[in-house]
Structure 1
Amino acid sequence: MTDDVTDEILTPESTEAAPEIPLSERIEAILFIVDEPIGLVALAAAVGSPVPAVRQTLETLVEDYDGVGTGPRRGFELREVGGGWRLYVREDLDAVVAEFVGGQAPARLSQAALETLAVIAYKQPVTRSQVASIRAVNVDSVVRTLLARGLITELFADSETGAINYGTTDALLQHLGINSLDELPPISPLLDDGADGFDEGTIR
């Protein structure tokens, strides 16, 4: 009796296929977490859909976020930069974001944030992957924290890879009490091997 019931449960006719998540939702999920523009082919691979379908969906999302048609305009936009796609806050809302970030109660940076900030300060312009290689750890969340605190900024996107290059801001100079990056102490005396700069694996 038990075997008959088990067989009945396992037959394809008695199981319902899980509904497929819409392509637009899958694309939005990936765009929400990437820190750098993601290429069309890489995005298509991430969501498991053909490139033409992904491109068409991206174009539809651009119009949706821009309020084309009956929907309202969103506070963010989807842009293609350096051959990749990424979500950005709209330029005319920069002041709103800056005011919010500036009004947050200051908090001490973690050791990981301080180490990441040091790498960016001495190596700028530098990409997130380069910083991760030097520190030998994932730095995505730390970079987002430093951006939100206004201590680093996106300088430019690499024309070939689309990778964002980061640098420090005037806010960091104010916190350090210096006028320019030239006043930072030489890095070589701070390293055990006396190397003139950061090598892979130096900061952990």
Structure 2
Amino acid sequence: ELSGTVGYPRLIVTDSHSSFKAPGFRRWALMRAIKTASLPPNSKAYGGWYERCHLSIKQLFTTRVGQGLNFDHWPCWLPSANLIYNCTNFAGLDICPADLFYSYRIARPWETRRNESIDGDDNNMEAISAGIEHLIDAPEESLISDMFKKQMDERQLKYRAYAEFWEAMKDIQQEMLHKRRAYRRSTEPFAVGDEVLVFRPYS
């Protein structure tokens, strides 16, 4: 016997593609209490790291294919490439793109962590949410929440009207069925030679 649970992330950070701005995606996330944040467009202020690095990824693929690796396994290369790009310091600086993203210096994977840091701010969801607060558009989130609440209220009203309609229809059908049964019980049996009207649907 197999059993399990389905979980959803508490936060999804996307780029500024129109797919992630669509009402359908925002509604899906809102119904599951998922907070969404959009990265700003590629700009010099952020070193060009916030948008997807197409050129760098292309160079990575070219290098690995040149090393004899099977290109069919390219999805497995993305996590390591993402980690390398986001944890590499900018030229002449002691910060990396991940530091800009979370608004504080993150622990690098190659740095030794102390045991007490396992439950510290690095893995604290509240700290992460606070770190990317500058990416969340509060008026937009409020507007989407209000629109969703209004839509749910309208849907609830329509459902109530729908349920009341079919409840009334059920009562009417039950009453008609009782009348039909009562009429059938009161009808005398046919005698030989009686004239009857036979209804046959047209086919």
Instruction: Tell me which interval the TM-score lies in, with the shorter structure as reference length.
Output: under 0.3
Higher Cα Rg, which structure = 2
* Structure with greater helix percent: 2
* Structure with greater strand percent: 1
Query: Which TM-score applies when normalising by structure 1?
Result: 0.22
Higher relative contact order (CA 8 A, sep 6+): 1
Query: Which TM-score applies when normalising by structure 2?
Result: 0.22
